[in-house]
Chains A and B, each alone.
Chain A
Amino acid sequence: MIEIENITKRYGESTVVDDVSLTIAPRTVTVVVGTSGSGKTTLLRMVNRLVEPTSGAIRLDGEDNRALPGYELRRRIGYAIQGHGLFPHRTVAENIATVPTLLGWARARIEAKVEELLSLFQLDPASFGPRFPHELSGGQQQRVGVARALAAEPKVLLMDEPFGALDPIIRAKAQDDLLAIQKHFQTTIILVTHDMEEAFHLADRIAVMDKGKVVQYATPAEMLLKPATPFVESLIGAGERPYRLLAIAPVSSAVEPGAAEGAPISSAASQREALAELLWSGRDALPVAGPDGAVIGKVSLEGLAKRAAGPA
């Protein structure tokens, strides 16, 4: 659990983060969104004390984050940034081993961890371990950056625009990988981005920041249905609302009894994908296949239309 309590950061006259309070449940993904200059990165950097707050407190599992020297705190918290920040003079394996080495792990344990992480991120340890960062593609560098952040098995991972430098196709893949990794390690993630699509895709809860304040902190569905301010509404984009609503829910929660013609859609797909398939194939309904492949019902245009409707 991460408790951010009345945290404020001022630089001279300007207040960058203004009295922000958030409670972040363990093992969830919280995405902080906002325009540039909204204070979202500063908020993130106060969690691991790369920036010291002017006032307020942050507690990790009940313990004040100022109980330890900053560098020791940071060794317990993963940190991944845009453009990955890999050390250009160290190999991929050395980069990933940085924090375990700082913590004084035994060599065998470090090697095993590096190998495990590289395999988990689909990079062959024997071939990628000894390479230097500049010999990797952008997507590979980004994966190594996240692997390095996770090397010391932190309970909390902070990410600042981690996918900002990737092209759209690689970015989508990296986001899916991140969700899988988060489930695997049960990590609590706070991620900063300005990309609403990314926020809705990844978040259990979204915090929208504007001019240093959190203007809304809610689940994606709540935020879509009840945007707290006109700013949140414009951030979401009026034209995107119904599609985002469908995108954050799986087909399984829209299954209706009955049968339909044609190839079935997986119940794990998003409702938005089902809608796209319906519109593209010109049908009214699609059969839905459960996790085992057996057809468990149908999803209909009419049903989806109701789910995509905003509050009356």
Chain B
Amino acid sequence: MRELRLDKLGAIIAALALGGAFIAPFATFRANRIVAGEVKSVLDALPAGWSAVLLGIVVCAVAVAAVRSPAVLRLVAAFVALATLALGIGVAATHLTPEGNTYARVSPASGFWIMLFAFGLLAADALTRLRPAPFVRVVVLVAVLGFIGILLLSGSWDGLSILKEYASRVDTFWAEARKHVTLALGSLVAATTVGIPLGVLCHRVTRLRDGLLGVLNAIQTIPSIALFGILIAPLGWIAVHVPGAAAVGIRGIGVAPAFVALFLYSLLPVVANTVVGLAGVPRDANDAARGIGMTDWQRLVGIEFPLAFPVILTGIRIVLVQNIGLATIAALIGGGGFGVFVFQGVGQTAMDLVLLGAVPTVVLAFAAAIVLDAVIEMASPNTRQAEAA
């Protein structure tokens, strides 16, 4: 059996997963939302049949991880284990909650999170080794999100504490979700519309470049809460003194200052990446474009912009991921978004409420990063050229 050599990373994953499965508790049970909980091991938290299945699958996946096995097999093992964990925590919630008891709360405990991390690591490692094409990565993402969607719709997670928090806030949740996405995407669109022309201008007018980039750099150093707060004053003044401003939604507190703050934070990456992208266009290509009679506009649209596009896209990716995270702060000035649940949860020491705000934010940011990375890779000249070959 000389082929069965130990995989170093796999050994760490195996140790983590086994520790999570056999030593750390799987779920926490609390009689109501506030009281301290009691932790349950896998054996206590799940019906006998389920514990056997879950532990069996964990041990199998650990075996695959610990030895040097093909990456596809590792990926399958990781996804099977993750899916089992996802189903298992739902079963635990139903199993632990006494019939008819609406106060009792069940949430995942450290063992669950450790196993989630371990198998997530295994999946990430397998995917890194497989280097899937950009399109495949998006397909995997959609499949995972689809699986989570099915679990949510089927009600198999309904017993979990985080979903009980959700159930009591269905309407506000979706309203805040809409606000969150509108803030993050809207400010991105605004920043792109303004930032790309500004970047072009900076590229053409050298004297403007250092000044403008300096100012935008300085804006980035203002802490987000402060910038949100500082903008309250001028916007409040505009709302009162500019006729019609209040009618279109400009107010001192709420969405407007959050939108403006996110817009200002977004400008630097967009402008800077536009400048870098344009500066990276080969001199020869630019000289030839002028030499064969392209006007400045034709050169910008036909040569410079397409060549700089992947770099500009990278800027947009940075902005989108950053905005999705920063939009949570908007809640502090009444701007709404998922931050509402995070800060409410922090205020009430209700971990589940924090999760209700934090988990969707992380999922959104993560999905945005994967999709945009895929788009960037597809737009980059090297891949495009390789495909055409």
B388 within 8 A of A: yes
A148 within 8 A of B: yes
Contacts of A158 in B (CB 8 A): 291
Q: Which of A73, A79, A84, A135 has the most CB of B within 10 A?
A: A79
Interface residues of B in 237-294 (CB under 8 A from A): 282, 284-294
B205 within 8 A of A: no
With A50-B291, A88-B307, A88-B381 known to touch, is A81 a contact of B284 (CB < 8 Å)? Answer: yes
The complex places the Cα of A88 from the Cα of B306 at a distance, in Å, of 10
Say how far A247's CB is from chain B's closest CB, in angstroms: 31
Say how far B277's CB is from chain A's closest CB, in angstroms: 13
Question: A89 is contacted by which of B292, B294, B307 (Cβ under 8 Å)?
Answer: B307
A81 lies within 8 A of B298 (CB): no
B298 lies within 8 A of A135 (CB): no
A263 within 8 A of B: no
Q: Which of B285, B292, B295, B307 has the most CB of A within 10 A?
A: B292
Q: Which of A89, A91, A131 has the most CB of B within 10 A?
A: A89
B389 lies within 8 A of A99 (CB): no
Question: Closest chain B residue to A72 by CB distance?
Answer: B293
Contacts of A11 in B (CB 8 A): none
B303 within 8 A of A: yes
B385 within 8 A of A: yes
The complex places the Cα of A87 from the Cα of B288 at a distance, in Å, of 9
Say how far A61's CB is from chain B's closest CB, in angstroms: 18
Question: Closest chain B residue to A73 by CB distance?
Answer: B293
Number of interface residues of A (CB under 8 A): 33
The complex places the Cα of A48 from the Cα of B388 at a distance, in Å, of 35
B291 lies within 8 A of A74 (CB): yes
B288 lies within 8 A of A86 (CB): yes
Question: A81 is contacted by which of B287, B295, B303 (Cβ under 8 Å)?
Answer: B287
Number of interface residues of B (CB under 8 A): 22
A88 lies within 8 A of B285 (CB): yes
Contacts of A84 in B (CB 8 A): 284, 288
Say how far B304's CB is from chain A's closest CB, in angstroms: 10
Contacts of B306 in A (CB 8 A): 89
Question: B381 is contacted by which of A50, A89, A98 (Cβ under 8 Å)?
Answer: A89
A83 lies within 8 A of B284 (CB): yes
The complex places the Cα of A78 from the Cα of B288 at a distance, in Å, of 10
A74 lies within 8 A of B284 (CB): no
Question: Closest chain B residue to A88 by CB distance?
Answer: B381
The complex places the Cα of A71 from the Cα of B289 at a distance, in Å, of 10
Say how far A97's CB is from chain B's closest CB, in angstroms: 11
A113 within 8 A of B: no
With A89-B306, A102-B298 known to touch, is A79 a contact of B292 (CB < 8 Å)? Answer: yes
Q: A residues touching B (Cβ–Cβ < 8 Å)?
A: 48, 50, 71-79, 81-89, 91, 98-99, 102, 130-132, 134-135, 145, 148-149, 158
10 extra A-B contacts, CB within 8 A, seeds A75-B293, A84-B284, A89-B381: A78-B292, A79-B291, A82-B284, A85-B284, A87-B288, A87-B303, A88-B282, A89-B384, A98-B292, A134-B385
